[in-house]
Amino acid sequence: MLQTFNGAQIAEELTTLLRLKATPVAMKKYASVEEMQQVPKIRRPDQRYLFDQIVAQSVRLGYTIGVTADDLAMKQCGAILGLFPQDDDFYSGEAMDGVWFGSREDSAKHQQQLDVVPYNSYQALAISPIASDRITDPDICLIYASPGQMILLINGLQWEGFEKFAWHVSGESSCADSWGRALATGQPSLSIPCYAERRFGGVLDEELLMAISPADLVKAIEGMKKLSRNGLRYPIPPIGIQADVTTSLQPIYPNWVKPNK
């Protein structure tokens, strides 16, 4: 049984339980650049990138990579991360007025409702594949998965201590719904990746993103193991839209299932 965050073991469990295509990654904030640079085999960007691209380099290429505010090409993702200030310019809505929203007022409302990490609370951030164990105590983990994989991850998280999760959709800048919210609150945070994440970050058409704390990820894995023992596992085999379901349902819900006609 998983008790602590063991990256290699967690990656193996996720592969077994969910057959993920995208590499699960770990993310951690650091108080100083020097502290971040102690991460084994850390890479530093050779040009300015969007943070979507930095995440993608870890998820799709397996890089362990660290960034500061100076490495980011645009204020939007930097401010969501808390590496850039959330100032009057950020909240004004000017940058997105007429691009993503039909008025300055709506653009400003969008900016004001984003989940962001407090500015100047840290200086550098690193991201690395979970399996590498280069970040041994991450703040959050990122899991890219299909809707079918994601619902079982959520079911696993709800196996013990059930709670009804309430997530929101910011539309553009939905990274605020995932890693922005999770870094700011520590809560499991599901998002529909936005245009920018797909255009610049290589997120696949069918992928959702869960940003989740290490403790909650361990909890979800243990829950998915229990579900798997009940036959509730991925991939989910369709029984057919005109099949007789009573044979399958009777052992699970013996007092609820009506016999077939």
89 burial type by CB count under 10 A (0-12 exposed, 13-18 middle, 19+ buried): middle
Looking at residue 154, its pLDDT comes to 98
Looking at residue 250, its pLDDT comes to 85
Token pair of 149, please? 């994989």
Looking at residue 252, its pLDDT comes to 84
- What residues of the chain score a pLDDT lower than 50? none
**What are the pLDDT digits (tens) for 135-149?**
999 999 999 999 999
Q: If DSSP codes are grouped into helix, strand and coil, which group holds residue 142?
A: strand
Question: In the chain, what is the straight-line distance between the N-terminal and C-terminal CA atoms, in Å?
Answer: 45
- Read off the amino acid at residue 257: V
> Can the peptide bond before residue 235 be classed as cis, meaning omega within 30 degrees of 0?
yes
Q: What is the CA radius of gyration of the chain?
A: 20
How much of the chain, in percent, has pLDDT values that exceed 90?
91
- Read off the amino acid at residue 132: S
**What are the pLDDT digits (tens) for 211-240?**
999 999 999 999 999 999 999 999 999 999
Nearest to 202, CA basis, from 78, 59, 6:
59
Whole-number Å distance between alpha carbons of 138 and 33: 16
Whole-number Å distance between alpha carbons of 193 and 191: 6
Greatest Cα pair distance in the chain: 71
Task: Tell how many helices (H) and how many strands (E) occur in the chain.
Answer: 11, 6
DSSP type of residue 241: T
- For 150-184, give one letter per residue: b (16+ CB within 10 A) or e: bebbbebbbeeeeeeeeeeebebbbbbbbbbbbbb
Pair 115, 187: CB distance under 8 Å: no
Pair 49, 253: CB distance under 8 Å: no
Looking at residue 2, its pLDDT comes to 54
Sign, CA dihedral 9-134-143-24, equals negative
Looking at residue 259, its pLDDT comes to 81
Q: Is the pTM of this model over 0.75?
A: yes
Whole-number Å distance between alpha carbons of 244 and 239: 9
